[in-house]
Chain A
Amino acid sequence: MQRIGVFVCHCGTNIAATVDVSKVAEAAKHEPGVVYAVDYTFMCSEAGQNLIAQAIKDYGLTAIVVCSCSPRMHEATFRKVAEENGVNPYMVEIANIREQCSWVHKNMDEGTPKAITLMKTAVAKVNLDAPLQEGEAPVTKRALVIGGGIAGIQTALDIADCGYKVDIVEKEQTIGGRMAQLDKTFPTLDCSSCILTPRMTEVAQHPNIRLFTYSEVQEVSGFVGNFDVKILKKSRSVREKDCTGCGVCMTKCPSKKIPNEFNRGLNFRTAINIPFAQAIPNVPVIDKEHCIHFKTGKCGICAKVCPSHAVDYEIQDEVIEEKYGAIVVATGFDQIDLHKFGELGYGVSKDVISSLEYERIMSATGPTGGHIVRPSDGKEPKDIVFIQCVGSRCEPDDRRGKTYCSKICCMYTAKQSIMTCDHIPGAKCHVFYIDVRTPGKMFDEFYRRAVEQYGVDYIKGNVGKVTPLPNGKLRVHGVDLLDQKEVELDTDMVVLAGAIEPNPSIRPLATKLTLSIDNNNFLNEAHAKLHPVEAATAGVFMAGTVQGPKDIPETVAQAGAAAVKAVALLAKDKLKTNPCVAQPDELYCNGCSVCANVCPYGAITYIEKEVRDHGVRETRRLAQVNPSLCKGCGACTVACPSGAMNLKGFTNRQIMAEVDSVCQ
Chain B
Amino acid sequence: MSVIERTASPEAMLEKDTLAYLGPAEAKKSEGEFVPKIVAFCCNWCSYAGADSAGNARASYPTNIKIIRVPCSGRVNPLFILRAFEKGADGVIICGCHPGDCHYTTGNYYTRRRMALLISMLDYIGVDKGRVEVDWVSASEGARFAEIMNKFADKIRTLGRNVRLEDIRCRN
In the complex, what's the smallest C-beta–C-beta distance from A549 to chain B, in angstroms? 16
Residues 638-653 (chain A) with a chain B CB within 8 angstroms? 638-639, 643, 647, 650, 652-653
Contact B9 A109 (CB under 8 A): no
CA distance A111 to B139 in the complex (A): 23
Contact A113 B68 (CB under 8 A): no
Encoded as 1 (CB less than 8 Å from any A CB) or 0, chain B from 58 to 95 comes to: 11110100111111101111101001100111000000
In the complex, what's the smallest C-beta–C-beta distance from B51 to chain A, in angstroms? 5
Encoded as 1 (CB less than 8 Å from any B CB) or 0, chain A from 495 to 516 comes to: 0000000000000001100101
The interface residues of chain A lying within 8 Å CB-to-CB of B159 are none
Q: How many residues of B contact A (CB 8 A)?
A: 71
The interface residues of chain B lying within 8 Å CB-to-CB of A626 are none
Contact A510 B101 (CB under 8 A): yes
A124 within 8 A of B: yes
Contact A116 B66 (CB under 8 A): no
Contact A104 B100 (CB under 8 A): no
Contact B1 A652 (CB under 8 A): yes
Contact B6 A600 (CB under 8 A): no
Instruction: Choose among A26, A110, A517 the residue that contacts B23 (Cβ–Cβ < 8 A).
Output: A110
The interface residues of chain B lying within 8 Å CB-to-CB of A537 are 103
Contacts A105-B60, A113-B22, A634-B74 hold; do A639 and B68 have CB atoms under 8 A apart? Answer: no
Contact A30 B15 (CB under 8 A): yes
Chain A residue, CB-CB nearest to B81? A659
Chain B residue, CB-CB nearest to A635? B74
Contact A524 B139 (CB under 8 A): yes
Instruction: Choose among B5, B88, B138 the residue that contacts A516 (Cβ–Cβ < 8 A).
Output: B138
Instruction: Choose among B25, B100, B146 the residue that contacts A511 (Cβ–Cβ < 8 A).
Output: B100
In the complex, what's the smallest C-beta–C-beta distance from A595 to chain B, in angstroms? 12
Chain B residue, CB-CB nearest to A663? B87
CA distance A640 to B4 in the complex (A): 17
In the complex, what's the smallest C-beta–C-beta distance from B110 to chain A, in angstroms? 6
In the complex, what's the smallest C-beta–C-beta distance from B78 to chain A, in angstroms? 8
Encoded as 1 (CB less than 8 Å from any B CB) or 0, chain A from 104 to 123 comes to: 11101111111011100100
Encoded as 1 (CB less than 8 Å from any B CB) or 0, chain A from 83 to 127 comes to: 000000000000010111001111011111110111001001001
Instruction: Choose among A72, A106, A514 the residue that contacts B102 (Cβ–Cβ < 8 A).
Output: A514
B13 within 8 A of A: yes
A580 within 8 A of B: yes
The interface residues of chain A lying within 8 Å CB-to-CB of B153 are none
Residues 555-584 (chain A) with a chain B CB within 8 angstroms? 580
Contacts A110-B23, A121-B66 hold; do A653 and B4 have CB atoms under 8 A apart? Answer: yes
CA distance A70 to B100 in the complex (A): 25
CA distance A104 to B12 in the complex (A): 29
In the complex, what's the smallest C-beta–C-beta distance from A208 to chain B, in angstroms? 32
A664 within 8 A of B: yes
A317 within 8 A of B: no
**Chain A interface main SS type:** helix
**Chain B interface main SS type:** loop
A655 within 8 A of B: yes
Contacts A536-B139, A658-B68 hold; do A70 and B52 have CB atoms under 8 A apart? Answer: yes
CA distance A27 to B18 in the complex (A): 6
Chain B residue, CB-CB nearest to A116? B21
B8 within 8 A of A: yes
Contact B69 A71 (CB under 8 A): yes
Contacts A514-B105, A656-B83 hold; do A110 and B139 have CB atoms under 8 A apart? Answer: no
In the complex, what's the smallest C-beta–C-beta distance from A70 to chain B, in angstroms? 5
24 A–B contacts from the bound complex (CB under 8 Å): A23-B21, A27-B18, A27-B21, A30-B15, A32-B12, A99-B51, A99-B55, A104-B58, A106-B60, A110-B25, A113-B63, A128-B7, A516-B140, A633-B75, A635-B104, A637-B77, A638-B77, A652-B77, A655-B68, A655-B75, A656-B80, A662-B84, A663-B87, A664-B8
Binding site for A on B (CB under 8 A): 1-2, 4-9, 12-13, 15, 17-18, 21-26, 37, 39, 44-46, 48-49, 51-52, 54-56, 58-61, 63, 66-72, 74-78, 80, 83-84, 87-89, 100-107, 110, 114, 138-141, 146, 170, 172
Binding site for B on A (CB under 8 A): 23, 26-27, 30-32, 70-72, 96, 98-100, 103-106, 108-114, 116-118, 121, 124, 127-128, 510-511, 514, 516-519, 524, 536-537, 580, 598, 600, 631-635, 637-639, 643, 647, 650, 652-653, 655-664
Closest 5 CB pairs of A and B: A99-B55, A634-B75, A633-B104, A663-B87, A103-B55
